[in-house]
Structure 1
């Protein structure tokens, strides 16, 4: 295939890449000579005997056709408007031909009941926002009368109306208040910070605050406070380990990138948002909703503010430089528009998460590819001081993710930390791995497949922003 960093993809223009010896030569077929390595293969024109070495073609830039095959209907001819970017030939099965941009969000604990989910249906949500100040004392009847009109116009299912009607006045009033006063985050960092604060609150107080009132109704997010463990010591640090017995995760793909020939800086996201013909103006994303379990780790700074990693070592200084001046680092465009992924505390928690994932896979009953991470950071922009934590969870379709294998390890989490960290200072690829340092043209510090990298299905950050030496310095 040929691809360009603007996201275009097309077949190789085989006739066009050959240096024909005759003008306007257009052969009905081409000859493929040789096999094995690309440099041993020649593509030849049977008419004029012009040819090109495939290894040479692979290493050169070519004009881009501007084609987006994903946007073409199956019964239409390919549309090739052209593009100013240069394309490169790339193998059809290469991973960098389509790198998805995926957003993952957790359920917001304060709005995790079935009633909340019904009231957040688009039609109902717009009614609540537009008529918030006009509802009287009997909000249930007023809301049902309004929604009945949408049912008559077939814009709302009758079953949805009946489900809302089954709740009493006080339940509906509380749920409406939660939804209309909900502060919707504007950035991915704000969203993740809100999740972090909600997890800290759940670790301190448990969740939900009261048991479900209806038979068969279970919370989408559940933490039993009596099962939370603190302290779980490792060296001078004391971890708080919070088992999350119920967890709901929504995953959405909003874009993808193509990175031919390592053109990382030039690669631009291509939106995957689409509209349905039956609902013009409504934008849709490809997504899935999964349930599972998880373990949340933090340092419980409210009890001991000094219970923090040491981020003053040599390895941390290079990451501090990147956090202070992110625009000086070309890799920022691929890592994230959020500069906080350069923050040393983010790198510390991220590297720790990868080590624990590999340790958990030995005892939990899940493979390391089934355990996912979520790194949290709450940063003071003025000083750079931050608090952080990590969530390791399983959320898969079917049975994987609901077996309780993660939370069952919380009572003996010291053993998990021992297995994750006792060989942190060595790697089978040392001294090559240990001598690596983070810099302007690198994604990681000391990190390789033998010591810190995990499956791409587990890491939200594509195995970037990792540094084993920084983690080791932080534990000292």
Structure 2
């Protein structure tokens, strides 16, 4: 198998389990499942896997796992040095398995575990050495399965072909798939035109694979469904896939893999302290988890008996307080009281929102508040808090993946099952990566928000309703959950994008280095309207502080003023504004006045795939500038 380097962060996204990448010699590989992580090429396991353990208590509770693990890193010891966990590698498999010869067009299938270059058997029989290349076409379904394109089934127009004679992939010189055809030595041939297309709820590949003229009974053999193939788990077994259809795709298509990730800003449990941190880390955390599963009492005496040296500096009373902090269902620092009407994700974000709006001086979260009186007077009209986050810790977890569409209705357990061939029965875990960084947290003035909606609510709702209708229709067509898209959400989301685009000119970070995190709730009893713009890197020391500096007085005001001026007139206006209002633009046509020239950002920076954006709710539209939250020229 070809070897090559890969960054650990890339194993969460975009090259997580089930994703494909091309290594230096041009071989296409698929990232293998988690079953054989932390192993060497000879099959021996890492000596100490606890080194890779990551504890993020909120994500662990939300995702139903015991802990998380960093991807392994490759270490090569120096002469005479003993290095723990040396020579660990990550397993990859060769995919697609089918190869073609550029000389004779012959198709050949090789094993997933093929390590060497694949030779053309026909050319070799003529005493010529010609290496074959992998075909650029695969097939997939919307449940995450992927397989080689069904060459034999397609050319013979049969779900169960009996012919096993050699196949050839022949090109006519056209740049489209219609210019490629597969031919069998039995005389059958067929073009690949239309294999990626969709006709309503049906795919052309599944619907048209079988020749209907030869199948007049209407039985199940007239339709070709997904075979539930999971090559990333090292198996070619197939099983029914609940009648999900196959769609052809180019190997390089962007919809072949979407990593499903969850992230959290680390919030310390309770008052924290050294003892709480000690109890939250192995080996004591494992002991506590085991006692909880067994239903045994967790007392200072039990912990001391197991690990006397670790706890010798603490009294029994100290340990009791720390245990109460860890085991308590109600955390006073984070205020996890359920708000009626909050969905799980909103509750999760509310915990962070409550912490980010207060000063913190913890190891992994340092937040300063700047009094609004230090800023120019108009700032207080729009914002109620500006917090400088000098240090934060973010954990990003791979929970599964999808294909074809970035959103899915699959349950969390089903997504996680895609990562394993045999999920662990105990000590369950998911891959994660930890980054440290800095940011600016901005909370909008709630009173001003309500006044804005009371005064211009009818005009604003009328403006965004076509966007909402398009989104709801698309979700219904895709059989996905619908969400409420409100003016508050569109305002905060668009402002976050405009701010990120402006900060790239001021603080030295590229747009791809910045991220948004939105805290939005229209609950009248517990509203949220906050935006965290942050950057993070793998270094535990965090980043350089340039982003925080832009949140300080005399720096923040010019940035906001500049972004509002830029948003007032896009270089693509009036087209950008008019196209957005007439039929929408961007992904799924779910943007109004927002394009690459004004409000879009790199996909890694946006939580919503660059959807639900509109400059009109920020600065008004051409017809009426007054409907924008930031009235014209109101910020001096």
Q: Which ranges in structure 1 are unaligned for 5 or more consecutive residues?
A: 136-141, 152-157, 209-217
**Whole-angstrom CA distance in 1 between matches of 2:495 and 2:566:** 13
**Partner residue of 1:80?**
238
Conservation of the 8 A alpha-carbon contact between 2:360 and 2:368: yes
1:146 equivalent in alignment to 2:302: yes
Deviations 1:404-434 (A, max 9, x none): 1111112211121122221212223333321
Conservation of the 8 A alpha-carbon contact between 2:140 and 2:226: no
Conservation of the 8 A alpha-carbon contact between 1:231 and 1:239: no
**Partner residue of 2:349?**
192
1:310 equivalent in alignment to 2:452: yes
1:365 is aligned, of 508, 515, 520, to 508
CA 1:450–1:332 in 2, change beyond 3 Å: closer, same or farther? farther
1:175 equivalent in alignment to 2:322: yes
Offset, 1:361: 1.5
**Partner residue of 1:13?**
150
Deviations 1:424-470 (A, max 9, x none): 12223333321214889643322222211111111122212222212
Matched ranges for 1:47-58 at <5 A: 47-58=185-196
1:390 is aligned, of 502, 527, 531, to 531
Conservation of the 8 A alpha-carbon contact between 2:375 and 2:557: no
Matched ranges for 1:15-34 at <5 A: 15-19=152-156, 24-34=162-172
Conservation of the 8 A alpha-carbon contact between 2:167 and 2:183: yes
**Partner residue of 1:2?**
139
**Whole-angstrom CA distance in 2 between matches of 1:82 and 1:117:** 47
2:360 is aligned, of 189, 207, 217, to 207
**Whole-angstrom CA distance in 1 between matches of 2:294 and 2:140:** 50
**Whole-angstrom CA distance in 2 between matches of 1:69 and 1:32:** 28
1:344 equivalent in alignment to 2:491: no
**Partner residue of 1:93?**
252
The CA RMSD measured in Å over matched residues stands at: 3.9
**Partner residue of 2:434?**
289
**Partner residue of 2:276?**
116
Offset, 1:379: 3.0
1:474 equivalent in alignment to 2:612: no
**Whole-angstrom CA distance in 2 between matches of 1:231 and 1:307:** 20
Paired positions, count:
434
Conservation of the 8 A alpha-carbon contact between 2:167 and 2:185: no
Conservation of the 8 A alpha-carbon contact between 2:262 and 2:396: yes
**Whole-angstrom CA distance in 1 between matches of 2:240 and 2:295:** 50
**3-state DSSP of counterpart to 2:629:** helix
Conservation of the 8 A alpha-carbon contact between 1:98 and 1:257: yes
CA 1:106–1:407 in 2, change beyond 3 Å: closer, same or farther? same
CA 1:33–1:339 in 2, change beyond 3 Å: closer, same or farther? closer
**Whole-angstrom CA distance in 1 between matches of 2:296 and 2:238:** 53
CA 1:46–1:251 in 2, change beyond 3 Å: closer, same or farther? closer
TM-score by length of 2: 0.60
**Whole-angstrom CA distance in 2 between matches of 1:353 and 1:336:** 26
CA 1:439–1:423 in 2, change beyond 3 Å: closer, same or farther? closer
**3-state DSSP of counterpart to 1:105:** strand
**Whole-angstrom CA distance in 2 between matches of 1:229 and 1:456:** 36
**Partner residue of 1:155?**
none
**Whole-angstrom CA distance in 1 between matches of 2:497 and 2:391:** 22
**Whole-angstrom CA distance in 1 between matches of 2:239 and 2:323:** 50
Q: Which ranges in structure 2 are unaligned for 5 or more consecutive residues?
A: 1-137, 198-203, 207-223, 331-335, 620-627, 632-636
Offset, 1:188: 1.5
Offset, 1:313: 5.4
Offset, 1:51: 2.5
Offset, 1:61: 2.6
Structure number with greater CO (CA < 8 Å, separation at least 6) is: 1
**Whole-angstrom CA distance in 2 between matches of 1:229 and 1:401:** 29
